[in-house]
């Protein structure tokens, strides 16, 4: 059989029913709990819909932040930069039930007035809670409509956030590691036009 990969392929191993999704984002979700901002770190976060823009954040049911999301029916998703890796990890270790996390960041508010956002984070998404999903497991999924987004000029390129300027933190779950972003590989909806379909599915990019 023709060798189509870059390295000699071994047989695929079964790794079990686990969420091996690579990469994962590292975000800080904010909500006011008992009148004070609280932030927790989450990697279970993803886009649900483009128009109107909706995002899902999946939180363990026991977390402190959940109370605030339910009470105020709004929350924020903040994208920390690599320069915030320590404080981001701290927010993922320490619960608002045990420690006051309201003073860690400079908080600002937007149009919803009750979704605390982190000034130090390059990008902020202000979300109105539109639905809560419970699949009977350990987590609950909050679906938010993004009503506004925020970034300083220094993080933009042609009016949209630039991933190289943001320097987001990438997360790998089962080995518990944080990473920076890698190099640019090509333009989306463009490089695919070069694909011949003749056994060149895997190419080596520097």
Ligand X SMILES: Cc1cc2nc3c(=O)[nH]c(=O)nc-3n(C[C@H](O)[C@H](O)[C@H](O)COP(=O)(O)O)c2cc1C
Sites of contact with ligand X (CB under 6 A): 26, 38, 40-44, 58-60, 63-65, 89, 92-97, 171
d(CA 121, CA 169): 11
- Minimum gap (Å) between residue 134 Cβ and ligand X: 13
Is the CB of 8 or the CB of 103 nearer to ligand X?
103
Q: For the range 131-134, what are the long-range contacts, defined as Cβ-Cβ under 8 Å and sequence gap of 24 or more? A: 132/70
Burial class (CB in 10 A: 0-12, 13-18, 19+), 33: buried
Is the CB of 77 or the CB of 166 nearer to ligand X?
77
- Minimum gap (Å) between residue 112 Cβ and ligand X: 19
Per-residue tokens: 163: 């991933």
Is the CB of 31 or the CB of 151 nearer to ligand X?
31
d(CA 28, CA 105): 11
Is the CB of 86 or the CB of 153 nearer to ligand X?
86
- Minimum gap (Å) between residue 57 Cβ and ligand X: 8
- Minimum gap (Å) between residue 84 Cβ and ligand X: 12
Number of separate helices (H) and strands (E) present in the chain: 3, 14
d(CA 46, CA 23): 12
């Amino acid at each position: 059989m023709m060798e189509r990969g870059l390295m000699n392929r071994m047989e695929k191993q079964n790794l079990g029913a686990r969420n091996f999704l690579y990469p994962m984002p590292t975000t800080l979700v904010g909500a006011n709990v008992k009148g004070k901002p609280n932030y927790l770190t989450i990697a279970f976060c993803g886009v649900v819909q483009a128009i109107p823009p909706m995002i899902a954040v999946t939180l363990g049911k026991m977390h402190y932040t959940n109370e605030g999301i339910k009470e105020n029916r709004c929350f924020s998703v903040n994208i920390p930069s690599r320069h915030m890796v320590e404080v981001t990890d701290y927010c993922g270790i320490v619960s608002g039930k045990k420690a006051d996390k309201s003073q860690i960041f400079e908080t600002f508010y937007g149009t919803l007035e009750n979704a605390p956002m982190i000034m130090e984070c390059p990008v902020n998404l202000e979300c109105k809670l539109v639905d809560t999903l419970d699949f009977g497991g350990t987590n609950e999924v909050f679906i938010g409509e993004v009503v506004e987004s925020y970034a300083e000029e220094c993080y933009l390129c042609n009016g949209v956030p630039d991933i190289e300027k943001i320097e987001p933190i990438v997360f790998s779950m089962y080995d518990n590691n944080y990473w920076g972003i890698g190099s640019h590989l090509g333009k989306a909806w463009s490089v695919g036009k070069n694909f011949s379909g003749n056994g060149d599915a895997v190419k080596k990019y520097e």
